[in-house]
Homo-oligomer: A and B are copies of this chain.
Protein backbone atom coordinates (compact mmCIF):
# COMPACT_ATOMS: atom_id res chain seq x y z
CA UNK A 1 0.00 0.00 0.00
CA UNK A 2 2.66 2.51 1.03
CA UNK A 3 4.78 1.71 -1.99
CA UNK A 4 1.87 2.46 -4.30
CA UNK A 5 1.31 5.76 -2.53
CA UNK A 6 4.97 6.64 -2.84
CA UNK A 7 5.00 5.79 -6.53
CA UNK A 8 1.96 7.95 -7.07
CA UNK A 9 3.68 10.76 -5.17
CA UNK A 10 6.78 10.39 -7.32
CA UNK A 11 4.68 10.58 -10.47
CA UNK A 12 2.81 13.63 -9.19
CA UNK A 13 6.09 15.26 -8.18
CA UNK A 14 7.24 15.08 -11.76
CA UNK A 15 4.09 16.88 -12.92
CA UNK A 16 4.27 19.40 -10.09
CA UNK A 17 7.89 20.21 -10.93
CA UNK A 18 6.65 21.57 -14.25
CA UNK A 19 3.80 23.64 -12.81
CA UNK A 20 4.09 27.40 -13.14
CA UNK A 21 4.21 29.68 -10.12
CA UNK A 22 0.75 30.99 -11.09
CA UNK A 23 -0.72 27.48 -11.10
CA UNK A 24 0.78 26.66 -7.73
CA UNK A 25 -0.38 29.96 -6.23
CA UNK A 26 -3.89 29.43 -7.62
CA UNK A 27 -4.06 26.08 -5.83
CA UNK A 28 -2.86 27.64 -2.58
CA UNK A 29 -5.53 30.35 -2.79
CA UNK A 30 -8.17 27.78 -3.69
CA UNK A 31 -7.20 25.71 -0.66
CA UNK A 32 -7.41 28.77 1.60
CA UNK A 33 -10.90 29.44 0.28
CA UNK A 34 -11.95 25.81 0.71
CA UNK A 35 -10.76 25.83 4.32
CA UNK A 36 -12.97 28.80 5.08
CA UNK A 37 -15.94 27.52 3.07
CA UNK A 38 -15.82 24.08 4.71
CA UNK A 39 -15.39 24.99 8.33
CA UNK A 40 -18.39 22.90 9.32
CA UNK A 41 -17.21 19.46 8.15
CA UNK A 42 -13.64 20.18 9.28
CA UNK A 43 -14.76 21.19 12.76
CA UNK A 44 -17.06 18.15 12.93
CA UNK A 45 -14.13 15.86 12.08
CA UNK A 46 -12.01 17.67 14.64
CA UNK A 47 -14.76 17.23 17.22
CA UNK A 48 -14.54 13.46 16.63
CA UNK A 49 -10.81 13.61 17.32
CA UNK A 50 -11.38 15.67 20.45
CA UNK A 51 -14.08 13.30 21.73
CA UNK A 52 -11.84 10.28 21.17
CA UNK A 53 -8.99 12.17 22.78
CA UNK A 54 -11.04 12.94 25.87
CA UNK A 55 -12.07 9.29 26.09
CA UNK A 56 -8.43 8.29 25.76
CA UNK A 57 -7.57 10.65 28.60
CA UNK A 58 -5.37 13.07 26.65
CA UNK A 59 -4.10 16.03 28.65
CA UNK A 60 -5.79 19.40 28.33
CA UNK A 61 -2.60 20.76 26.77
CA UNK A 62 -2.64 18.09 24.07
CA UNK A 63 -6.37 18.53 23.45
CA UNK A 64 -5.73 22.24 23.01
CA UNK A 65 -3.01 21.54 20.46
CA UNK A 66 -5.25 19.37 18.36
CA UNK A 67 -8.32 21.57 18.62
CA UNK A 68 -9.43 23.56 15.58
CA UNK A 69 -11.70 26.59 15.85
CA UNK A 70 -13.11 28.95 13.21
CA UNK A 71 -10.44 31.44 14.24
CA UNK A 72 -7.61 28.89 13.96
CA UNK A 73 -8.90 27.77 10.55
CA UNK A 74 -8.90 31.38 9.36
CA UNK A 75 -5.38 31.70 10.68
CA UNK A 76 -4.31 28.62 8.70
CA UNK A 77 -5.99 30.00 5.57
CA UNK A 78 -4.22 33.32 6.15
CA UNK A 79 -0.86 31.53 6.39
CA UNK A 80 -1.52 29.91 3.01
CA UNK A 81 -2.26 33.31 1.47
CA UNK A 82 1.04 34.56 2.92
CA UNK A 83 2.86 31.70 1.20
CA UNK A 84 1.37 32.86 -2.11
CA UNK A 85 3.21 36.14 -1.61
CA UNK A 86 6.59 34.51 -1.06
CA UNK A 87 8.91 34.20 -4.06
CA UNK A 88 9.01 30.74 -5.65
CA UNK A 89 12.63 29.57 -5.56
CA UNK A 90 12.09 26.92 -8.27
CA UNK A 91 13.70 27.79 -11.58
CA UNK A 92 16.24 30.22 -10.14
CA UNK A 93 19.45 30.18 -12.16
CA UNK A 94 22.71 30.68 -10.30
CA UNK A 95 26.47 30.19 -10.50
CA UNK A 96 26.52 30.75 -14.25
CA UNK A 97 29.86 30.24 -15.89
CA UNK A 98 31.42 29.71 -19.31
CA UNK A 99 34.32 27.30 -19.47
CA UNK A 100 37.39 27.84 -21.68
CA UNK A 101 36.04 25.20 -24.10
CA UNK A 102 32.87 27.25 -24.54
CA UNK A 103 30.56 25.08 -22.40
CA UNK A 104 27.95 27.24 -20.70
CA UNK A 105 27.20 25.87 -17.24
CA UNK A 106 24.75 26.99 -14.62
CA UNK A 107 22.84 25.60 -11.69
CA UNK A 108 19.07 25.69 -11.70
CA UNK A 109 16.93 25.32 -8.62
CA UNK A 110 14.46 22.38 -8.74
CA UNK A 111 12.09 20.78 -6.24
CA UNK A 112 13.52 18.11 -3.97
CA UNK A 113 10.93 15.62 -5.19
CA UNK A 114 8.97 13.67 -2.59
CA UNK A 115 9.14 14.74 1.05
CA UNK A 116 7.85 12.59 3.90
CA UNK A 117 6.80 14.29 7.12
CA UNK A 118 6.05 12.50 10.37
CA UNK A 119 4.33 14.71 12.89
CA UNK A 120 2.19 14.64 15.95
CA UNK A 121 -0.92 16.24 17.28
CA UNK A 122 -1.26 19.55 15.43
CA UNK A 123 -3.59 19.34 12.41
CA UNK A 124 -2.39 22.74 11.16
CA UNK A 125 0.89 21.02 10.22
CA UNK A 126 -1.02 19.10 7.54
CA UNK A 127 -1.93 22.32 5.76
CA UNK A 128 1.35 24.12 6.51
CA UNK A 129 3.50 21.37 5.07
CA UNK A 130 1.25 20.68 2.11
CA UNK A 131 1.20 24.40 1.30
CA UNK A 132 4.97 24.87 1.47
CA UNK A 133 5.57 21.66 -0.49
CA UNK A 134 3.08 22.71 -3.16
CA UNK A 135 4.66 26.16 -3.46
CA UNK A 136 8.03 24.53 -4.12
CA UNK A 137 6.71 21.84 -6.47
CA UNK A 138 7.25 18.92 -4.10
CA UNK A 139 4.96 15.99 -3.43
CA UNK A 140 4.48 14.92 0.20
CA UNK A 141 3.76 11.77 2.15
CA UNK A 142 2.08 12.82 5.37
CA UNK A 143 2.00 10.77 8.53
CA UNK A 144 0.15 12.67 11.25
CA UNK A 145 -0.60 11.65 14.80
CA UNK A 146 -3.39 9.17 15.38
CA UNK A 147 -5.05 11.76 17.66
CA UNK A 148 -5.83 13.96 14.64
CA UNK A 149 -6.64 11.36 12.03
CA UNK A 150 -10.23 12.53 11.43
CA UNK A 151 -9.20 16.16 11.15
CA UNK A 152 -6.32 15.30 8.84
CA UNK A 153 -8.57 13.18 6.64
CA UNK A 154 -10.94 16.12 6.20
CA UNK A 155 -8.09 18.54 5.51
CA UNK A 156 -6.36 16.26 3.02
CA UNK A 157 -9.61 15.84 1.08
CA UNK A 158 -9.72 19.62 0.64
CA UNK A 159 -6.07 19.75 -0.41
CA UNK A 160 -6.74 17.14 -3.09
CA UNK A 161 -9.83 19.05 -4.21
CA UNK A 162 -7.84 22.28 -4.51
CA UNK A 163 -5.11 20.55 -6.53
CA UNK A 164 -7.64 18.92 -8.83
CA UNK A 165 -9.65 22.10 -9.40
CA UNK A 166 -6.45 23.89 -10.38
CA UNK A 167 -5.27 21.20 -12.80
CA UNK A 168 -2.56 19.85 -10.54
CA UNK A 169 -2.20 16.19 -9.59
CA UNK A 170 -4.07 15.32 -6.37
CA UNK A 171 -1.59 12.47 -5.93
CA UNK A 172 0.95 15.11 -4.89
CA UNK A 173 -0.40 14.85 -1.35
CA UNK A 174 -0.43 11.34 0.08
CA UNK A 175 -1.94 10.82 3.50
CA UNK A 176 -1.15 7.68 5.47
CA UNK A 177 -4.66 7.13 6.73
CA UNK A 178 -3.94 4.50 9.36
CA UNK A 179 -2.61 4.64 12.91
CA UNK A 180 -0.65 1.42 12.37
CA UNK A 181 2.83 2.04 13.77
CA UNK A 182 4.40 -0.60 11.57
CA UNK A 183 3.77 1.70 8.60
CA UNK A 184 6.31 4.17 9.96
CA UNK A 185 9.00 1.51 9.92
CA UNK A 186 8.03 0.66 6.37
CA UNK A 187 7.99 4.31 5.32
CA UNK A 188 11.52 4.87 6.63
CA UNK A 189 12.93 2.26 4.26
CA UNK A 190 11.51 3.80 1.08
CA UNK A 191 14.59 5.74 0.02
CA UNK A 192 14.05 4.84 -3.60
CA UNK A 193 10.82 6.84 -3.67
CA UNK A 194 11.25 9.51 -1.02
CA UNK A 195 13.98 12.15 -1.10
CA UNK A 196 13.80 13.68 2.37
CA UNK A 197 12.24 12.83 5.70
CA UNK A 198 11.30 15.51 8.19
CA UNK A 199 10.32 14.26 11.63
CA UNK A 200 8.45 16.89 13.62
CA UNK A 201 8.17 15.84 17.21
CA UNK A 202 10.18 15.09 20.31
CA UNK A 203 13.70 13.82 20.73
CA UNK A 204 12.50 10.20 20.69
CA UNK A 205 10.99 10.53 17.22
CA UNK A 206 14.11 12.22 15.88
CA UNK A 207 16.36 9.52 17.31
CA UNK A 208 14.11 6.76 15.95
CA UNK A 209 14.20 8.30 12.48
CA UNK A 210 17.96 8.92 12.57
CA UNK A 211 18.61 5.31 13.58
CA UNK A 212 16.12 3.62 11.30
CA UNK A 213 15.61 5.73 8.21
CA UNK A 214 17.28 4.95 4.91
CA UNK A 215 15.80 8.22 3.61
CA UNK A 216 17.94 11.30 4.31
CA UNK A 217 16.57 12.74 7.56
CA UNK A 218 16.43 16.34 8.69
CA UNK A 219 16.79 16.02 12.43
CA UNK A 220 16.42 19.07 14.57
CA UNK A 221 14.15 21.01 16.77
CA UNK A 222 15.85 19.84 19.94
CA UNK A 223 17.52 22.80 21.61
CA UNK A 224 19.53 22.84 24.80
CA UNK A 225 20.14 26.58 24.43
CA UNK A 226 22.69 28.72 26.27
CA UNK A 227 23.37 32.34 27.00
CA UNK A 228 26.78 33.28 28.38
CA UNK A 229 27.12 36.49 30.40
CA UNK A 230 30.64 37.73 29.82
CA UNK A 231 32.86 39.60 32.26
CA UNK A 232 32.11 43.27 31.77
CA UNK A 233 28.68 42.60 30.26
CA UNK A 234 26.08 45.33 30.57
CA UNK A 235 24.11 43.58 33.30
CA UNK A 236 21.13 45.93 33.14
CA UNK A 237 20.81 45.21 29.45
CA UNK A 238 21.50 41.50 29.81
CA UNK A 239 18.72 40.83 32.29
CA UNK A 240 15.73 41.45 29.97
CA UNK A 241 17.40 39.42 27.20
CA UNK A 242 17.75 36.44 29.53
CA UNK A 243 14.20 36.91 30.75
CA UNK A 244 12.90 37.02 27.18
CA UNK A 245 14.87 33.93 26.17
CA UNK A 246 13.52 31.96 29.12
CA UNK A 247 9.95 33.09 29.69
CA UNK A 248 8.56 34.54 26.45
CA UNK A 249 7.57 31.03 25.30
CA UNK A 250 9.22 28.38 27.43
CA UNK A 251 7.72 25.36 25.65
CA UNK A 252 9.67 25.75 22.39
CA UNK A 253 13.05 24.60 21.18
CA UNK A 254 14.75 28.01 21.04
CA UNK A 255 13.92 28.90 24.64
CA UNK A 256 16.85 29.28 27.04
CA UNK A 257 17.89 26.22 29.05
CA UNK A 258 21.20 27.12 30.69
CA UNK A 259 22.63 30.44 31.79
CA UNK A 260 26.42 30.58 32.03
CA UNK A 261 27.81 33.48 34.04
CA UNK A 262 31.42 34.62 34.15
CA UNK A 263 32.81 34.38 37.68
CA UNK A 264 33.66 38.11 37.61
CA UNK A 265 29.98 39.04 37.54
CA UNK A 266 28.37 36.01 39.19
CA UNK A 267 27.86 37.51 42.64
CA UNK A 268 26.55 40.76 41.28
CA UNK A 269 24.32 39.26 38.66
CA UNK A 270 22.97 35.84 39.64
CA UNK A 271 20.85 37.17 42.53
CA UNK A 272 19.25 39.65 40.13
CA UNK A 273 18.52 36.90 37.59
CA UNK A 274 16.92 34.69 40.21
CA UNK A 275 14.94 37.51 41.75
CA UNK A 276 13.59 38.73 38.40
CA UNK A 277 12.83 35.40 36.73
CA UNK A 278 11.30 33.89 39.87
CA UNK A 279 8.56 36.51 39.47
CA UNK A 280 7.71 34.84 36.15
CA UNK A 281 7.48 31.46 37.84
CA UNK A 282 10.92 30.21 36.80
CA UNK A 283 12.62 27.65 39.02
CA UNK A 284 16.38 27.08 38.98
CA UNK A 285 18.95 24.27 38.96
CA UNK A 286 22.34 25.57 39.99
CA UNK A 287 25.76 23.96 40.13
CA UNK A 288 27.72 24.54 43.39
CA UNK A 289 29.50 27.76 42.38
CA UNK A 290 26.25 29.28 41.18
CA UNK A 291 24.60 28.28 44.45
CA UNK A 292 27.49 29.85 46.31
CA UNK A 293 26.96 33.15 44.50
CA UNK A 294 23.46 33.40 45.94
CA UNK A 295 22.37 34.51 49.41
CA UNK A 296 18.95 34.56 51.00
CA UNK A 297 16.29 35.25 49.98
CA UNK A 298 17.29 34.20 46.38
CA UNK A 299 19.20 31.11 47.48
CA UNK A 300 15.96 29.61 48.76
CA UNK A 301 14.49 29.74 45.25
CA UNK A 302 17.24 27.58 43.78
CA UNK A 303 17.88 23.86 43.97
CA UNK A 304 21.15 22.07 43.31
CA UNK A 305 21.56 20.80 39.76
CA UNK A 306 21.37 17.05 39.19
CA UNK A 307 23.68 15.12 36.86
CA UNK A 308 21.51 15.54 33.73
CA UNK A 309 20.33 19.08 34.32
CA UNK A 310 22.75 20.68 31.89
CA UNK A 311 21.93 18.35 29.02
CA UNK A 312 18.16 18.61 29.40
CA UNK A 313 15.92 20.61 27.07
CA UNK A 314 13.52 21.97 29.68
CA UNK A 315 10.60 23.13 27.49
CA UNK A 316 9.34 24.61 30.76
CA UNK A 317 10.01 27.43 33.23
CA UNK A 318 13.23 25.90 34.54
CA UNK A 319 16.70 27.39 34.13
CA UNK A 320 20.11 25.86 34.75
CA UNK A 321 22.70 28.19 36.31
CA UNK A 322 26.44 27.75 36.08
CA UNK A 323 29.46 29.93 36.87
CA UNK A 324 32.39 29.68 34.46
CA UNK A 325 35.93 30.96 34.76
CA UNK A 326 36.21 32.53 31.36
CA UNK A 327 35.08 32.57 27.76
CA UNK A 328 36.92 29.32 26.97
CA UNK A 329 35.16 27.44 29.74
CA UNK A 330 31.83 28.82 28.59
CA UNK A 331 32.48 27.70 25.01
CA UNK A 332 33.65 24.28 26.20
CA UNK A 333 30.46 23.86 28.23
CA UNK A 334 28.29 24.77 25.25
CA UNK A 335 30.15 22.49 22.85
CA UNK A 336 30.00 19.58 25.29
CA UNK A 337 26.44 19.98 26.55
CA UNK A 338 24.57 21.81 23.80
CA UNK A 339 22.63 20.44 20.87
CA UNK A 340 23.96 22.93 18.32
CA UNK A 341 20.64 24.78 18.14
CA UNK A 342 20.83 28.38 19.49
CA UNK A 343 23.51 29.77 21.74
CA UNK A 344 24.52 33.34 22.55
CA UNK A 345 26.92 35.65 24.32
CA UNK A 346 26.00 38.82 26.17
CA UNK A 347 29.09 41.00 26.10
CA UNK A 348 30.49 44.47 25.58
CA UNK A 349 33.83 43.12 24.33
CA UNK A 350 33.99 42.82 20.53
CA UNK A 351 36.90 40.42 20.64
CA UNK A 352 34.98 38.02 22.87
CA UNK A 353 31.90 38.27 20.67
CA UNK A 354 34.04 37.40 17.66
CA UNK A 355 35.65 34.46 19.40
CA UNK A 356 32.28 33.17 20.57
CA UNK A 357 30.86 33.41 17.05
CA UNK A 358 33.93 31.71 15.59
CA UNK A 359 34.14 28.87 18.09
CA UNK A 360 30.55 28.02 18.95
CA UNK A 361 29.37 26.05 15.97
CA UNK A 362 25.62 26.02 16.57
CA UNK A 363 22.96 26.42 13.89
CA UNK A 364 22.34 29.94 15.23
CA UNK A 365 24.94 31.88 17.21
CA UNK A 366 23.84 35.09 18.93
CA UNK A 367 25.55 38.22 20.15
CA UNK A 368 23.49 40.38 22.52
CA UNK A 369 20.12 38.97 21.54
CA UNK A 370 17.55 36.49 22.78
CA UNK A 371 17.78 32.91 21.50
CA UNK A 372 14.06 33.09 20.79
CA UNK A 373 14.68 34.47 17.29
CA UNK A 374 15.69 31.13 15.74
CA UNK A 375 12.61 30.84 13.56
CA UNK A 376 11.88 31.10 9.86
CA UNK A 377 9.61 34.11 10.17
CA UNK A 378 11.93 35.95 12.59
CA UNK A 379 14.88 35.36 10.27
CA UNK A 380 12.89 36.80 7.37
CA UNK A 381 12.27 33.55 5.49
CA UNK A 382 8.50 34.01 5.57
CA UNK A 383 7.83 30.43 6.61
CA UNK A 384 9.32 27.49 8.47
CA UNK A 385 9.29 23.80 7.70
CA UNK A 386 11.67 22.72 10.44
CA UNK A 387 14.71 23.86 12.40
CA UNK A 388 17.63 21.66 11.44
CA UNK A 389 20.36 20.87 13.94
CA UNK A 390 22.09 18.43 11.65
CA UNK A 391 24.73 19.75 9.30
CA UNK A 392 23.92 18.51 5.82
CA UNK A 393 21.77 20.40 3.32
CA UNK A 394 20.42 23.05 5.69
CA UNK A 395 21.01 24.30 9.24
CA UNK A 396 18.67 26.26 11.44
CA UNK A 397 15.32 27.46 10.14
CA UNK A 398 14.33 25.79 6.87
CA UNK A 399 11.83 27.42 4.55
CA UNK A 400 11.07 27.34 0.82
CA UNK A 401 14.59 27.31 -0.56
CA UNK A 402 15.50 24.44 1.75
CA UNK A 403 12.77 22.35 0.08
CA UNK A 404 14.65 22.58 -3.19
CA UNK A 405 17.85 21.28 -4.68
CA UNK A 406 19.56 22.12 -7.97
CA UNK A 407 20.59 20.53 -11.18
CA UNK A 408 23.53 21.44 -13.40
CA UNK A 409 22.58 22.56 -16.90
CA UNK A 410 25.36 22.32 -19.46
CA UNK A 411 24.95 23.76 -22.94
CA UNK A 412 27.56 23.14 -25.59
CA UNK A 413 28.05 23.46 -29.31
CA UNK A 414 28.50 19.74 -29.90
CA UNK A 415 31.33 19.94 -27.41
CA UNK A 416 33.48 16.90 -26.66
CA UNK A 417 35.97 16.20 -23.89
CA UNK A 418 39.56 16.18 -25.02
List A residues at the B interface (Cβ < 8 Å). 14, 17-18, 97, 99, 103, 105, 108, 110, 112-113, 189, 191, 195-196, 210-211, 214, 216-217, 234, 237-238, 240-241, 243-245, 248, 335, 344, 346, 353, 357-359, 361-370, 372-374, 378-380, 390-393, 395-397, 405-417
Chain B residue nearest in CB terms to A396: B408
Q: Which applies to chain A's interface (DSSP): helix, strand, loop or mixed?
A: mixed
In order of increasing CB-CB distance, the 5 nearest A-B pairs are: A369-B412, A244-B416, A372-B417, A237-B414, A393-B393
Chain B residue nearest in CB terms to A417: B372
Residues in B whose Cβ lies below 8 Å from that of A346: 414
- Contact A409/B357 with A105-B379, A380-B99 known, Cβ cut-off 8 Å: yes
B417 engages A363 (CB within 8 Å): no
CA distance A240 to B417 in the complex (A): 10
A408 engages B363 (CB within 8 Å): yes
A413 engages B210 (CB within 8 Å): no
Residues in B whose Cβ lies below 8 Å from that of A103: 369, 373
Chain B residue nearest in CB terms to A240: B416
Residues in B whose Cβ lies below 8 Å from that of A191: 210-211
B407 engages A234 (CB within 8 Å): no
CA distance A372 to B412 in the complex (A): 12
B216 engages A410 (CB within 8 Å): no
- Contact A369/B248 with A110-B361, A364-B408, A380-B99 known, Cβ cut-off 8 Å: no
Residues in B whose Cβ lies below 8 Å from that of A409: 357, 364-365, 367
**Which residue in B195, B366, B411 is a CB contact (below 8 Å) of A410?**
B366
Number of this chain's copies in the assembly equals 2
Residues in B whose Cβ lies below 8 Å from that of A405: 391-392, 395
CA distance A26 to B238 in the complex (A): 42
**Which residue in B217, B357, B369, B414 is a CB contact (below 8 Å) of A368?**
B414
CA distance A79 to B392 in the complex (A): 27
A193 vs chain B, min Cβ distance (A): 12
A216 engages B214 (CB within 8 Å): no
Residues in B whose Cβ lies below 8 Å from that of A362: 407
CA distance A366 to B104 in the complex (A): 10
CA distance A274 to B17 in the complex (A): 36
**Which residue in B99, B248, B392 is a CB contact (below 8 Å) of A378?**
B99
- Contact A414/B364 with A112-B392, A195-B392, A390-B216 known, Cβ cut-off 8 Å: no
- Contact A407/B392 with A18-B358, A368-B412 known, Cβ cut-off 8 Å: no
B417 engages A244 (CB within 8 Å): yes
Residues in B whose Cβ lies below 8 Å from that of A366: 410-412
- Contact A395/B407 with A18-B359, A105-B380 known, Cβ cut-off 8 Å: yes
Residues in B whose Cβ lies below 8 Å from that of A380: 97, 99, 105
